[in-house]
Amino acid sequence: MSTVKVTDKKGATTGQVTLGGLVPAEAKGEQAVHEAVVAYHANQRQGNSSSLTRGEVSGGGRKPYRQKGTGRARQGSTRANQYRHGGIAFGPKPRDYRKNLPKQVRRLAFQRAFATQWNAGNISVVADFELQQAKTKLAIDLINQLGLNARPLLIIVDEAGVNFLLSTRNIAGVETSEARNVNVYQILKARQILITRAGLDALAVRLGTEVSEVESGVGGSASEAGQEEGE
């Protein structure tokens, strides 16, 4: 069971945390992740594309010319599909692309995506991300102090304050979200994830697990424990 360091705003380690019962990255859930991402993209679609059929195009009520004697093909309306400015035969109409997933599938996909990033060491935990002023420079300086240089960067907080939102919305490659709203796609596409300590507690509820504090010198990876025993 891997642990993650908790740091303050200056990058100094203040403790360690671990998530009990987290789904291993290699465990089941790959199909659930795929379905969750497909559903996310489908739910982003507006579905309001619309074209006019021949019955909806104005004009064309009169037969353009007589049925026989012209040498041309018979026509009944200038708004037929083969005419310029005519109706569209099989064009798009407004539709709902939304996909719904069972609650168990959504939770499994979220667990698998988060476990993948957690076990890969791409998640950092900071005590808090509070800013005294709404300044982009303050947010950038804080991110740099924590050594988070990879992009895209996802910052997850428990509750986003006004200063936090205003300070981070204009930073290229940085996306912010509250723990209750973050989705599988955001987690997967991020190269680094920064979570506040309170945000991690909120995420644990969605993950169906618990956050445990690890005492100094306790925990760590299995390889580290083996080395200590050998010594």
pLDDT greater at residue 213 or residue 33: 33
157-161, Cβ contacts within 8 angstroms, sequence gap of 24 or more: 157/129, 157/195, 157/196, 157/198, 157/199, 158/196, 158/198, 158/199, 158/201, 158/202, 159/198, 161/130, 161/131
Q: Give the pLDDT confidence score for residue 25 in this predicted structure.
A: 57
pLDDT band at 203 (very low <50, low <70, confident <90, very high): very high
Q: Which residues contact 106 (CB under 8 A, 6 or more apart)?
A: 32, 36
Q: Give the pLDDT confidence score for residue 129 in this predicted structure.
A: 86
| Residue 221 in this model has a pLDDT that exceeds 50 | no
3-45+100-230, what's its fold? Ribosomal Protein L4; Chain: A; (3.40.1370)
pLDDT band at 227 (very low <50, low <70, confident <90, very high): very low
Q: What tokens does 54 get?
A: 């021949």
Average pLDDT over residues 185-205: 95
Using alpha carbons only, what angle is made at residue 127 by residues 144 and 8, rounded to the nearest 5 degrees?
50
Burial of 119 (0-12, 13-18, 19+ CB in 10 A): middle
Cis bond before residue 152 (omega within 30° of 0): yes
pLDDT band at 231 (very low <50, low <70, confident <90, very high): very low
Where are the domains positioned within the chain?
A: 3-45+100-230, 47-96
**In this predicted model, what pLDDT tens digit does every residue of 76-110 receive, in sequence order?**
999 999 999 999 999 999 999 999 999 999 999 99
8/6 Cα distance (integer angstroms): 7
Q: Give the pLDDT confidence score for residue 36 in this predicted structure.
A: 97
181/93 Cα distance (integer angstroms): 31
pLDDT band at 222 (very low <50, low <70, confident <90, very high): very low
pLDDT band at 219 (very low <50, low <70, confident <90, very high): very low
Q: Give the pLDDT confidence score for residue 160 in this predicted structure.
A: 79
**In this predicted model, what pLDDT tens digit does every residue of 28-81 receive, in sequence order?**
889 999 999 999 999 999 999 999 999 999 998 999 999 999 999 999 999 999
Q: Give the pLDDT confidence score for residue 122 in this predicted structure.
A: 94
Q: What tokens does 97 get?
A: 């692309």
**In this predicted model, what pLDDT tens digit does every residue of 141-158 receive, in sequence order?**
999 999 999 999 999 999
For residue 188, the Cα-to-chain-centroid distance in whole angstroms is 7
Q: Give the pLDDT confidence score for residue 162 in this predicted structure.
A: 85
**In this predicted model, what pLDDT tens digit does every residue of 159-178 receive, in sequence order?**
878 888 899 999 999 999 99
Strand-pair partners of 149: none
